[in-house]
Structure 1
């Protein structure tokens, strides 16, 4: 019994330290950017030694991946909520796309997901870690097709096309001088594209 308690306590300590490191790294990556953030700064912010950082992560890249993964997980929640508020599957899909663009207006998310991720971990890893969002798009497309709201098709090609468009659009908005105006234009254009898929 004592051994089980000790193991559980050790597991809880490990989880707490990992969470503290990811929290600290997220704050620094969002504020200062990937290049300007050092592991020494992360360790200091998390109130652990630099050795503790290397005990849980291979280095700054892997730590960024952990932060990025959590951003994707948190980003999924408002998309699902927006989708669930609409009964029509195509309108629900449009709402999810709009929610994605809305969430991408957050400056901290912009810095981590849209501005630094490709340089920090590369396109292939970004797309792998964003897999849950792409899976959601495929499911939304499949449901719209099943309901007869769009023409029947394999969902993957259209999902990749639209997800790529949304990500590129969000990155353009993040770099725009007038983000609100760029966002309005982006939402309007995405709506036009999705309306063009609709079957009356």
Structure 2
């Protein structure tokens, strides 16, 4: 079966994102050059600029893909159902599992905000894993005194999840972080 131009184009785009991800983790954004990216991807410099305006646009695509994978992993581990509390706790474990992927914490929580700015990284988070958390909190808090606070609580808990992921990356005990997040969630329904 012959590949279409669209298939080849998408394959090239994914090769650039994969190469960019590897180099951004290995060397950091600032120390990664576009010639290194195209060399690693096995494409021409023209192909890079056909798919991405510049290195920053490629970096954004890497961050968006990572954030999407985090959200997908959480949703797969914590499907919506009759037990929102359990789904959020399962989602907590899934978040820490998926953030353990080498380089992910650096890309999403350190370099992402530094390179793209907090407004863009915040928007990406709002559309991905924070959205999943917000839906879980809305289900958990339905009918409670905190029901109207679900959206803001999602913002605050999302920040707590990120700080915990950074702490784990720096050597904190994961179970203690999970227990602390669970205590925060339990406090919302007391």
TM-score (norm 1): 0.84
Residue by residue over 1:122-156, the C-alpha shift from the partner in whole angstroms, topping out at 9 and shown as x without a partner, is 1111111122212111111111123x577422421
Report if the CA contact (8 A) 2:78-2:91 is conserved: yes
1:151-166 pair list within 5 angstroms: 151-166=146-161
1:32-181 pair list within 5 angstroms: 32-84=27-79, 87-130=82-125, 131-146=127-142, 148=143, 151-174=146-169, 176=170, 178-179=171-172, 181=173
Deviation at residue 107 of structure 1 after TM alignment: 2.3
Distance in 1 separating the partners of 2:22 and 2:141: 41
Residue by residue over 1:168-199, the C-alpha shift from the partner in whole angstroms, topping out at 9 and shown as x without a partner, is 2222332x2x24x2x22211111111111224
Distance in 2 separating the partners of 1:85 and 1:78: 13
RMSD between aligned residues: 2.1
Deviation at residue 95 of structure 1 after TM alignment: 1.6
5+ long unaligned stretches in structure 1: 1-7
Q: If you compute each CA radius of gyration, which structure gives the higher value, 1 or 2?
A: 1
Aligned positions, number:
187
Using a 3 Å threshold, how does the CA distance of structure 1 residues 10 and 136 change in structure 2: closer, same or farther? same
5+ long unaligned stretches in structure 2: none
Distance in 2 separating the partners of 1:45 and 1:87: 47
TM-score (norm 2): 0.88
